[in-house]
Amino acid sequence: MVCGMFENILGWHFSPTLRTSIIKQVKELKGSEENYEPGSTYKPLLMDYFELVGIPQIFFDEICFYDDLWARSLTTRDTPLRHYKQCRHVNYAVIHEWESRLDEIEKNEEMMAEEKKEAKKVVSNQYINKFPFFHPVLPTKREYISMKNGSYVYDALFDKRMYLVLKEKLDKYNLAYLGNSEGWVNLELE
């Protein structure tokens, strides 16, 4: 999460494909086989440039923990079929029409499996504006923490160049979020 926060401060909003390519090139240059992203689709790019040391010191006057339900938006990573199947609020006539067209494709015995898959994508993309942009994913909880006069203080070791670039960005504007785009934090580097 901290690595993602640093990347966002730097404006590094790269696609998963580009991240994979960058990591592959870095591994080839370093001769390294390190894998920082087990079990996650996020592939961090700055892990070799900082290290959190020890246990954080936590200060606050008041603290509140709460859960909020998460709704995902349609992203370029979603397949139309997956997104549409997770939408709750859709006109039944649209669903009936869309599913009928998909069924016709599935029953077409002259088409190969790969052709059916591509045809379903084409049909699904024709309906993209008839489905909600956001969809709930099995009501997923996200935990939030709100602190009054609170802070987490970490000791950290930084690559000097990374530290200077982060410091410069934060001096201009302190726009950092931790975990997701709703987890805004005020970050200070000393």
Can you give the residue range of the structural domain that contains 103? 68-137
| Range 41-49 average pLDDT | 86
Q: Say if residue 133 is in the same domain as residue 72.
A: yes
143 within a domain of the structure (yes/no): no
Using alpha carbons, select from 161, 150, 130, 147 the residue that is nearest to residue 49: 161
Q: Say if residue 51 is in the same domain as residue 84.
A: no
Tens digits of residue pLDDT in 74-95: 555 556 666 666 676 677 788 8
Q: Say if residue 106 is in the same domain as residue 90.
A: yes
142 within a domain of the structure (yes/no): no
Backbone angles phi, psi at 60, to 5 degrees: -170, 155
| Range 60-84 average pLDDT | 72
88 within a domain of the structure (yes/no): yes
User: Per mean pLDDT, which of 46-55, 69-78, 81-90 is the most reliable?
Assistant: 46-55
Confidence (pLDDT) at 54: 93
Q: Say if residue 132 is in the same domain as residue 174.
A: no
The percent of residues above 70 in pLDDT, for the chain, comes to 80
Q: Say if residue 7 is in the same domain as residue 27.
A: yes
Tens digits of residue pLDDT in 13-25: 888 889 889 988 8
Q: Say if residue 130 is in the same domain as residue 72.
A: yes
76 within a domain of the structure (yes/no): yes
Q: pTM value?
A: 0.62
Q: Say if residue 101 is in the same domain as residue 42.
A: no
Last residue of a domain, one of 114, 137, 160: 137
Domains in the chain: how many in total?
A: 2
